[in-house]
Amino acid sequence: MNTSETFKEFLDNIKIPEDKATTISDRYGRITKAMNKYFRDTESTTANSLQVGSYGRYSGIKGISDLDMLYIIPDSKWSNYNKSGGQTKLLEDTKEAIEKTYPASDIKVDRCVVTVSFSDGSHIDVQPVFENEDQDYKYPDTYNGGTWKITKPRKEMDAMVEAEPNKNKNLRRLCKMARSWKNKHGVCMGGLLIDTLAYNFLNSTTYFDTKSFVYYDEMSRDFFKYLYDQPKDQKEYGALGSKQRVKVRKSFRRKSKKAYDLACEAIEANSDKTKHNKWRDIYGNDFPKYQNEESEAKAINLSYKSNEEFIENLYPIEIRYNLEIDCEVKQKGFREGLLKEYLRKKYPLLIGRSLRFFISEINIPHPYIVKWKVTNRGNEAIKRNCIRGQITKDFGSQQIVESTDFKGEHFVECYIIKNNIVIAKDSIDVPISI
């Protein structure tokens, strides 16, 4: 397949399935109806609510579990809640309204929203608001006694809509591809930050204004370079359209640089196999495989069979926290150093070393589950029928021990799972020399 066909297939692979979209729409409708019944004594499933977040901006991808909606409270109710304790009372009333429709669901009042959690791992954050004349909204914040704050989602959605024809429909597609990269590499970035940076990137150039799928390799490369070139100390951005503050949870520059390097290698590669593998290293399992991969592997080893597992097939992925893993290199029981230092200094990692992979940074409240994946790649792994790639549970030590047995590319991934959702993820490359 050529570049255009490959990226078209990739984007088709990550779109929200119709059955999932139907379920989401049904849940939005039922919650809207419950709120209308409670606050207006009507039964409309669409009036007075607004789908916001990535789903509302049409920039979400499959596996989406974190959904957002606003419900517009009648102006006549303002005096009921614009008083001491009114913010908490509004959220409690919102919870009561929803409980009538979803009595069996887990419904909790948070600081600014009511969260409705479903058995499939997804949840909807319902934010009751009062509409201002300029279509901004006042929402309740219960922190420190309670205040009213402003949100401007319509301006963000309008900016996305306005940009689409000007940027040849590339903006939403880039936002979706960036989410796939985020999920693959565990980049701790919120959806609004992704959409804002994609928006800013495409507005920084006219090069892609008349270009489409055939240039998505270049667009990917240039976008990752744009991310890497962002100021090191940038703590927040003005959101697209609204210019509201969007915080940077964790620096994304290191992982952007890795993606940029891989994109350059993919574009410059002479073989289709290498191109596909490099893009899959960036975007994950949803990027199309090299078509002849299995037949070429069988030519090396007739008994070859891949049993590799993929975390996105087991759990929804919603990266909310930062996770970092590292690896201690030992030889004959003596510590030689950390793998990241090996790679930074371009030292060869030779056969015969012991490797202890461990979690070096984590800020996730318990309880959670830790899982690992070790994958081998290359002709030697195929000859040995040792691709591996099974996802295994950690038994409490938050570490695994491996050894450098044979030459090739090797990868170790770590996943943090909470409430049946992957909320953090990290990986490390293990290039073994002779």
pLDDT given for residue 349 in this prediction: 81
Do 18 and 145 share a structural domain? yes
Number of structural domains, the chain?
3
Do 22 and 145 share a structural domain? yes
* Residues of the domain holding 255: 152-291
Residues of the chain above pLDDT 90, percent: 77
Answer yes or no: is 297 within a domain: no
Answer yes or no: is 55 within a domain: yes
pLDDT at 292 over 80: yes
- What would the pLDDT profile of 253-288 be if each residue is shown by its tens digit? 999 999 999 999 999 999 999 999 999 999 999 999
Do 362 and 244 share a structural domain? no
- Listed in sequence order, the DSSP H helices in 377-433 are 379-383
Q: Residue 168 is encoded by which pair of tokens?
A: 């040849």
- What would the pLDDT profile of 9-34 be if each residue is shown by its tens digit? 999 999 999 999 999 999 999 999 99
Instruction: Return the residue matching tokens 């990226």.
Output: 7
Answer yes or no: is 225 within a domain: yes
Last residue of a domain, one of 151, 174, 191: 151
CA quadruple 192, 193, 194, 200: dihedral sign: positive
Answer yes or no: is 17 within a domain: yes
pLDDT given for residue 287 in this prediction: 97
Do 254 and 147 share a structural domain? no
- The CATH number linked to 310 is 2.60.40.10
- What would the pLDDT profile of 141-171 be if each residue is shown by its tens digit? 999 999 999 999 999 999 999 999 999 999 9
Compute the CA torsion angle 396, 399, 400, 406 (nearest 10 deg). 170
Do 18 and 118 share a structural domain? yes
pLDDT at 81 over 70: yes
Do 280 and 205 share a structural domain? yes
CA 99 to chain centre: 30
Q: Are strands 106-109 and 114-117 parallel, antiparallel or unpaired?
A: antiparallel
pLDDT at 334 over 70: no
pLDDT at 348 over 90: no
Do 206 and 226 share a structural domain? yes
Do 182 and 141 share a structural domain? no
Last residue of a domain, one of 248, 271, 291: 291
Phi-psi region of 86 (alpha: psi -120 to 50; beta: other; left: phi over 0): alpha
pLDDT at 222 over 80: yes
Answer yes or no: is 5 within a domain: no
Answer yes or no: is 1 within a domain: no
- What would the pLDDT profile of 295-322 be if each residue is shown by its tens digit? 888 898 888 888 889 999 998 899 999 9
Nearest-10 crossing angle of helices 86-99, 18-40: 120
Answer yes or no: is 314 within a domain: yes
Do 172 and 60 share a structural domain? no
**Which of 368, 356, 428, 362 lies closest to 396 in space, CA to CA?**
368
Q: What is the C-alpha separation between 354 and 49, in angstroms, rounded?
A: 57
Last residue of a domain, one of 291, 317, 332: 291
pLDDT given for residue 434 in this prediction: 63
Do 428 and 317 share a structural domain? yes
